[in-house]
Structure 1
Amino acid sequence: MAEQALSLSYGQAFVAPERRRHRSSMSVLVTEGEMLQSKGVSALISDSIWRNAIAKQAGDLSVRGFLADYYSTPAHWDVKTSATRVLRALNSWSYSQSSYIEGGSYVSSMSLMVLRGRDAHLFHMGDTLVFRLRGAEFEQLTRDHVTDLGGYRYPSRALGLDGNLDIDYAQLPLKQGDLFLFTTRAVRGTLMPSDFVQLIRADVSNLDAACERLAEAAQARAGERGYGAEQFCFQLVRIDRLPELDSATVDVHLGSLPVPSELAVGERLDGLEVLDVLSRNAQSRVYRVRDERSRSEMLLRAPSPELSSRNAYLEHFLLQQWVAERVSSPFVAKLVELPRPRRHLYYLMVDVRGESLSDWLRRHPQASLAQRLDIARQLAKAVQALHRRDVLHQQIHPDTVLIDPHGQVVLSDFSACFRRDGESGKARELAREVGLGVHSAPEYALGDEVGRRSDQYALASTVYWLLTGDVPYDRSPGELRSHTGLEQMTYRSARSRNPAVSAALDDALRRALDPQRALRFRRLSEFLVALRDPRQRGGDERVATGTPAGLWQGIAGLLLLLLVLSWLLK
C-alpha cells in the first residue's frame, strides 16, 4: 500500500488600482518525494510600502529568493534552521543593496509557512497577516510590527530594514481541514472576522473563487469608506490530508533512516545488487551496485554499521550527500537519484571507473609538465567549486583524487567536507578524525582556525608532489606540536627537483605553502593563474612582450648603421 503523504489545496486572488504600483507577491510551492519529506511545502506572502520606487521588485525578490535558497539547504537541516539561515542571508543582501537605490529599497514585510509532516512552521517579519480558520474559529497567527512616522505607518522588523533581522517563529500542529489565509495590511479596516469566515465558507471546494470573493468584498468595503486606491492580495491554503502517525511509516527526516548492515557481493538493498565491495573503513562503506530495473551501475556510499548510533557522524554523512547534490562542476562527482524512495541511509554516485592520482603517476612517470599542470588546474577548479558553495574539502591528497579514462580529474571523496559557516573547531576535529597526512595544513595539527586557505595548502602540496614526486618540507605538518615548529619549516624549491618548473610557478607554490595561513593567497583564483601552462601565458618575459627578440636586435642594428652614415656624410 502506498504511503500517505501530506496533501493540500490552495487558491489566490490579487486586485489593484491601475494607478498604483504592484507591491505584493505571493506563492505556494508544492514539492514531491524526498523533497516533500525533508523540506515540505512553502506558502509565502510579501508586501512592500507603496512609497517605494522598487516596491514590486522588493516583494518579488523576497519570495523568489527564499524559495530558491531554502530548497538548496542541506537535507539534514531542520525547517527552522534552514529557513532562518536563508532569511538572514536574504536580509543581509537586501539591506546592503538598498543603500545604492535612490527613492527605493528592498524592504518588505513577509510571512511564510513551511508545512512539513504534521506540523506548520510559521516565520513572520513586518505587518503581513496570516490567519487560521479551524472549524468556526478564526484566529490571527501573526503580530503587526509597525512604526508611526510623520503620520504614516511603516512596517518595522521587516526584511531588509536593518542589518539584524528579528524573526517571529512558531511551530503549529496541523489538523485535516485547517485553512490558512495569507493577506496584506491593506485589508485592515475593510473585512471583519465574520466576513472572512462567511466568504470562505460560501464554497470551500473552490479556493480561487473564495479568494476572489474576499478581494471583491474588501475592494467594495474600501470604496465605501473612501480609500479604494488600495491593492488587495489573498492566498488560501487548505490541509486536505496529513501523513499517518504509524510507527511503520518511513520517517520523513532522512537522518532517521536505518543505516544499512554489512553487505556482501550478490546481496540486495532497495532494489540495488552489490557487485563489488570497494572500501571498508571506520567511517563508511563504498560498494559498486547495479539497479535491478535500469541495469545501470553506480557507487553506493553508506555509514559504517558500527557507527549507526553516532548522530553527530550521521549528520555529517548527510552533509556529504548535500555536497554531491549541490556542487555543480565537471570535476566533482555527480549524485544519482533513484526514481523510488530510499528505505536506508546512503547515497548513490556516478561510477567514475578511474584510478587515484597516485596510481596514475606510477603508470605515467614520464608525463610531461603540460600534462601535470593540466591535472593541477582541474583539481584547483574542483576545489573552487566546493568553495563557491562554502564547503571545505579538508582531505585533498593524491589518494582522494581520481583520474577517469579520459584524463579528467574527479573529486569524489567528501568524508571530511564541512560547511564553512559552521564552527571551525568542529571542522578541524572532523579532519583529525578522518586522518591528517603530509599534505594537511599545519593549522590542523596546531589547533588553529581552519578555512579556505587550509584547502589551498593541501592543494598546493598535492600539486608540488605531482610536479616533483616529493613533499615541500622535510617535516610533516601533521607532526607539529607547537607554533615554534612553523619557523623551522623551510621550503624546498620545486625547481631544484624538477628544472622544468618555472621560477614564477615555484614562487606561487612557495606562497600557497606558507606555514602561516595568513600569508597564503587570499583567493584560490590567484593560485590558479600561476598554474597556467607557460606556453599559454607566453612563456618567459621575452615572449610575453609579443615581439621577437631578433626583431629588436635588427632595429637596433639599423639605427646604429644610420648613425654611422650620418657621421660619415657630415
Structure 2
Amino acid sequence: MAHAQLLLSYGQAFVAPERRKHRSSMSVRMPEPTLLRAKGACAVISDSVSRNVMAKQAGDLSVRGFLADYFSTPDHWEVKTSATRVLRSLNSWCYSQSQHVKEGSFVSSLSALVFRGREAHLFHMGDTLVFRLRGAEFEQLSRDHVTDLGGYRYPSRALGMDCSLDIDYSRMPLKQGDIFLFTTQAVRGTLLPSDYVRLIRLDASDLDAACERLADEARTRAQDRGYGGDQFCFQLVRIDELPEEEEDHPGRLYGDLPIPPELSPGERLDGLEVEEVLSRTAQSRVYRVRDVHTGREMVMKAPSPELSLRNAYLEHFLLQQWVVERINSPFVVRVMEPSRPRRYLYYLMAHVEGETLSQWAERHPQASLTQRLDIANQLGKAVKALHHRDVLHQQIHPDNVLIDNHGKVVLADFSACHFREMDNQRQSRELLGQVGINEHSAPEYALGDGLGRRSDQYALASTTYWLLTGELPYVLTPNRLRSHTDLEQLSYRSARSFNPEVTQALDDALRRALDPQRALRFRRMSEFLHALQVSLGRKEGHEVQSREPRRFWQGVAGILLLLLVLSWLLR
C-alpha cells in the first residue's frame, strides 16, 4: 500500500502598481516526490521598502535564490540546517552587492515556511507577515521587526541589511486543513482578523479567488482612508493531506537502502557488472563496473559492508554523493545516473581513463615546468570549485589526483571532504583521523588547530612543490608533528635548490602558501593560483618581449641605413 504524501494547494494575488514596479515577490515550490520527502515543500514571500529603487530586484532575487539553494542542499540535512546556511550565504551576497551599487540596495524582508512531513518550519527576517488560520482561530506566526525613522516605518533585521543575520526560527505541527497566509506590511491598517477569516472562508476551495477577495477588500479600505492601495499581495497555502507517521530511525536518512554486500569481479548488482575491485578500505568499497544494458563503464562507490546503519560514516558518505552531484567543474568527476532504480546504497561516477599524478610523474620525468604548473593550476581550479560550495577536501595528495589520457586533471576522491564550519571542526578532524593525514597535510591537522580553506591551500602547494621537485618542502613532515614546539623545526627548503628552472617568484609563492602558520598563507586560493601563473608568465613573457623589441629596432635601423645610402647616392 502506498504511503500518503504531503499535498498542498495554494493561491496568489497581486494588486498591480499603477506608477512603479512592484516591490514584493512570492512563490511556492512543491518538488517531485523523492525531493519532497527529503526536503519538503516551501512557500516564500519577500518585500522591500518603497524608497528602494532596487526593491523589485531585491525581492525577486531573495525568493529565487532561497528556493534554488535550499533544494540543492544535501538531502540528509535537517530543514533548519539547510535553510539557515542558505539564508546566511544569501545575506552575505546581498550585503556585499549593496556596497557596489550607487542607488538602492538588495535589502528585503523575507519569510519562508518549509513544510516537511507533518511539521512546518518558519524562517523570518524583517516585517513580512505570516498568519495561520486553523478552524476559526487566526494567529500571526511572524514577528514585526520595524524601526520608526522620521515618521516612516522601516524593516529591521532584514536580509542583506548587515553582514550578520539574525533569523527568527519556529517549528510547529501541522493539521490537515491548516491555511497559511503570507502578506506584507502594506496591508496593516486595512483588514481586521475577522475580515481575513470571513474572506478566506467565503469559499476556501478556490485559493486564488480568496486571495483576489483579500486584495480587492484591502485596496478598497485603503482608498477609503486616503492612501495608496497599489502594493498589496497575498499568498495562501492550504494543507490538503499529511503523510503518515514515520519512525525516525537511521535507515530513513539513507532512503531505507541497504549497504551492498561484498562484490567480486563478474558479480552483478542492479544491472551493474563488477569488472575490477579498485579499492577496499574499512569505510568503503570502490569498483569499476559496466552497465549490462548500456555498456557504459563507470565507478561505483559504496559503504563497507562491515559498517552498521548507525555508523557516522554513512552520513558522510551521503555528503560525498552530494559533492559529486552538485560541484559543477570540468576538473571534478561527474556523477552518473543508473539505468535502473537503485536497490542498494551507492553512487556512480564517470570512469576516468588515465592514471594517478604519482604514476604520471614517474612516467614523465622530463616533463617541462610549464606542463607541471598547468597540472597544478587545474588541480587548484578543482579545489576552488569545492570551496565555492564551502567544502574542504582535506586529502589533496598525488595519489588522489587523476590525469586522463588528454592530460586533464580530474579530482575523484572525496573520502575526507567536509563542510567548512567552526562548530563542526571536531567532526572534520575525526573524519580525517579515520582516513589518515599524510605528508602533504597542513600542520594544523596534526596539532588540532583551526582548519579552513588555507589548509587545502597548504596541501595543494605541497603537492605542487613535490610535482616540481620530487621532494617535500620540509624535512620534518607535518604528519609527524607532535606539538607546537615542533613547528620551529619546519625550515622551508627552497624549491630552486632541487629544480633550477623554478623562478624566484615561483619559489616565493610556494614558500608563502606552505607557511606553517595558517594565517600567514595567501588569503584566498585564487591569489596563490594567480601567483603561480604570474611566476610562469614572467619568464615566458620576458622571452617574448625581449625578442619582439629587438626585431623592431633591427628593422628601424635597417630602414635608416637604407635611407642614408640612398641620400649619398642621390647627391
Q: Distance in 1 between matches of 2:432 and 2:366?
A: 33
Hey, what does 1:525 align to over in structure 2? Answer: 526
The alpha-carbon deviation at position 307 of structure 1 amounts to: 3.1
Hey, what does 2:180 align to over in structure 1? Answer: 180
Hey, what does 2:152 align to over in structure 1? Answer: 152
- CA gap of 1:133–1:475, structure 2 versus 1, over 3 A, is same
TM-score (norm 1): 0.87
Alignment of 1:498-517 (within 5 A): 498-517=499-518
The alpha-carbon deviation at position 18 of structure 1 amounts to: 0.6
Hey, what does 2:466 align to over in structure 1? Answer: 465
Hey, what does 2:434 align to over in structure 1? Answer: 433
Q: Distance in 2 between matches of 1:220 and 1:380?
A: 61
The alpha-carbon deviation at position 233 of structure 1 amounts to: 0.5
Q: Which amino acid aligns with 1:486?
A: L
Check the 8 A contact 1:38/1:252 in 2, yes or no.
no
Check the 8 A contact 1:542/1:549 in 2, yes or no.
no
The alpha-carbon deviation at position 458 of structure 1 amounts to: 1.8
Q: Distance in 1 between matches of 2:348 and 2:94?
A: 37
Check the 8 A contact 1:49/1:55 in 2, yes or no.
yes
Check the 8 A contact 2:21/2:56 in 1, yes or no.
yes
Hey, what does 2:296 align to over in structure 1? Answer: 296
The alpha-carbon deviation at position 257 of structure 1 amounts to: 4.8
Q: Distance in 2 between matches of 1:236 and 1:261?
A: 49
Alignment size in residue pairs = 559
Hey, what does 1:55 align to over in structure 2? Answer: 55
Q: Deviations over 1:506-553 (max 9, x none)?
A: 343333333333343333334324544988545374544564568779
The alpha-carbon deviation at position 255 of structure 1 amounts to: 7.4
- CA gap of 1:539–1:32, structure 2 versus 1, over 3 A, is same
Hey, what does 1:227 align to over in structure 2? Answer: 227
Q: Distance in 1 between matches of 2:319 and 2:161?
A: 32
- CA gap of 1:26–1:298, structure 2 versus 1, over 3 A, is same
Deviates more, 1:409-418 or 1:426-435: 426-435
The alpha-carbon deviation at position 32 of structure 1 amounts to: 1.4
Q: Distance in 1 between matches of 2:434 and 2:165?
A: 36
Alignment of 1:364-375 (within 5 A): 364-375=364-375
Deviates more, 1:468-477 or 1:116-125: 468-477
RMSD (Å), alpha carbons: 3.4
Hey, what does 1:489 align to over in structure 2? Answer: 490
- CA gap of 1:100–1:528, structure 2 versus 1, over 3 A, is closer
Deviates more, 1:543-552 or 1:499-508: 543-552
Q: Distance in 1 between matches of 2:167 and 2:517?
A: 40
Q: Deviations over 1:210-232 (max 9, x none)?
A: 22222122222333343353422
Alignment of 1:82-231 (within 5 A): 82-98=82-98, 104-231=104-231
Q: Deviations over 1:334-391 (max 9, x none)?
A: 1224477655433221121332112223333343443333322222222222222222
Hey, what does 2:567 align to over in structure 1? Answer: none
Deviates more, 1:69-78 or 1:116-125: 69-78
Deviant stretches of 4+, over 6 Å: 248-252, 550-559
Report the 3-state secondary structure (helix = DSSP H, G, I; strand = E; otherwise coil) of the residue aligned with 1:60: helix
Check the 8 A contact 1:272/1:290 in 2, yes or no.
yes
Q: Distance in 2 between matches of 1:486 and 1:336?
A: 44
- CA gap of 1:377–1:58, structure 2 versus 1, over 3 A, is closer
Check the 8 A contact 1:110/1:124 in 2, yes or no.
yes
Q: Distance in 2 between matches of 1:272 and 1:2?
A: 28
Q: Distance in 2 between matches of 1:162 and 1:456?
A: 29
- CA gap of 1:179–1:339, structure 2 versus 1, over 3 A, is farther
Q: Distance in 2 between matches of 1:463 and 1:161?
A: 41
Check the 8 A contact 1:286/1:299 in 2, yes or no.
yes
1:321 aligns with 2:321: yes
Hey, what does 1:476 align to over in structure 2? Answer: 477
Deviates more, 1:267-276 or 1:27-36: 267-276
Q: Which amino acid aligns with 1:459?
A: L
The alpha-carbon deviation at position 14 of structure 1 amounts to: 0.3
Q: Deviations over 1:286-331 (max 9, x none)?
A: 1233445544332222222333345532332222222222222111
Hey, what does 2:334 align to over in structure 1? Answer: 334
Hey, what does 1:562 align to over in structure 2? Answer: none
Percent of pairs with identical residues = 70
TM-score (norm 2): 0.86
Q: Distance in 1 between matches of 2:161 and 2:536?
A: 52
Q: Distance in 2 between matches of 1:507 and 1:101?
A: 37
The alpha-carbon deviation at position 182 of structure 1 amounts to: 1.3
Q: Distance in 2 between matches of 1:65 and 1:129?
A: 20
Q: Distance in 2 between matches of 1:452 and 1:101?
A: 29
- CA gap of 1:473–1:41, structure 2 versus 1, over 3 A, is same
The alpha-carbon deviation at position 170 of structure 1 amounts to: 1.9
Q: Which amino acid aligns with 1:469?
A: G
Q: Which amino acid aligns with 1:132?
A: R
- CA gap of 1:502–1:263, structure 2 versus 1, over 3 A, is same
